[in-house]
Amino acid sequence: MFKITIRNSLYFSYAGRVSAEFGILNVSLSGGMAEEPLASSREIYEVSVKGRDQPYFQGMEKDPLRFNVSFAFKNNWDSQKLREVTRWLTEHDYYQELFFTNDIGRDPERIYYALVVDDPTLVHNSLSQGYINLTFRCDSPYAYSPTRTSQLYKWEKNSHTNTISNFSQGDKKSMITGTDGGLILNPHRTKWSDFSYDMKWTELDQLLT
């Protein structure tokens, strides 16, 4: 099944607000094929010993996910909108929920918890038109799946009393009722060895029915 990638998504949601509220779209500015963060970077820890060309492997550590994005304004901005967008994207003291989608901020496939780091940049043509370059740094090396819930089932609290205390009734296949009322295997049940080796399946089916 095809998954929506960051570069392929038109909208995004961050800190509980959707980019469409600000007239902002997620865009790709590369001239060729789009690049995506496939996995977090990893660092290998090894110890080198004199006289041994191969170092001793000590372990490995994954770095939190980082990726660059570009967000373009659909229309001209003014000073108030620019300040509001800046606060929305950069003024947070802890990781915020971030996901990318093509459905105006709904039904995410992957959720990140991220903060803007490094130097956010506004690129424009001096006519209040342009885009923003940002770097997001996540809280872990992983993206998260959205919470899935099933439909609500109505539970009726009706009491039920079971009056059956043994297996003397009912249809029992290859079983018989013991003296204590429990079930045991019938020692005289039909076995495969009771049938002729050259019997056809049609004959066996007629015999059993």
**Average of pLDDT values for 6-21?**
90
Same domain, 109 and 180: no
Q: H/E element holding 204?
A: helix 201-208
User: What CA–CA distance (Å, rounded) separates 165 from 203?
Assistant: 39
The token pair at 33 is: 């094929």
Residue 182 inside a domain? The answer is: yes
Q: Quick one: 44 and 123 in the same domain?
A: yes
209's tokens: 């029915």
Q: Is residue 134 part of a domain?
A: yes
pLDDT band at 4 (very low <50, low <70, confident <90, very high): low
Provide the number of structural domains found in the chain.
2
Both 184 and 105 in a single domain? no
Side chain identity at 169, as an amino acid letter? Q
Question: Residue 119 is encoded by which pair of tokens?
Answer: 């130097």
pLDDT exceeds cutoff 60 at 2: no
Residue 187, domain member (yes or no): yes
Indicate whether 189 pLDDT > 70: yes
Residues 103 and 200 in one domain: no
pLDDT tens across 32-53, in order? Answer: 777 777 888 899 999 999 999 9
The number of beta carbons lying within 10 Å of the beta carbon of residue 106 is: 11
pTM (2 decimals)? 0.64
CB 63 within 8 A of CB 116: no
User: Does residue 5 belong to any structural domain of this protein?
Assistant: no
Do 192 and 208 form a contact (C-beta atoms < 8 A)? no
Check whether residue 107 and residue 189 sit in a common domain.
no
pLDDT score of 40? 86
19 is in which domain, residue-wise? Answer: 11-138
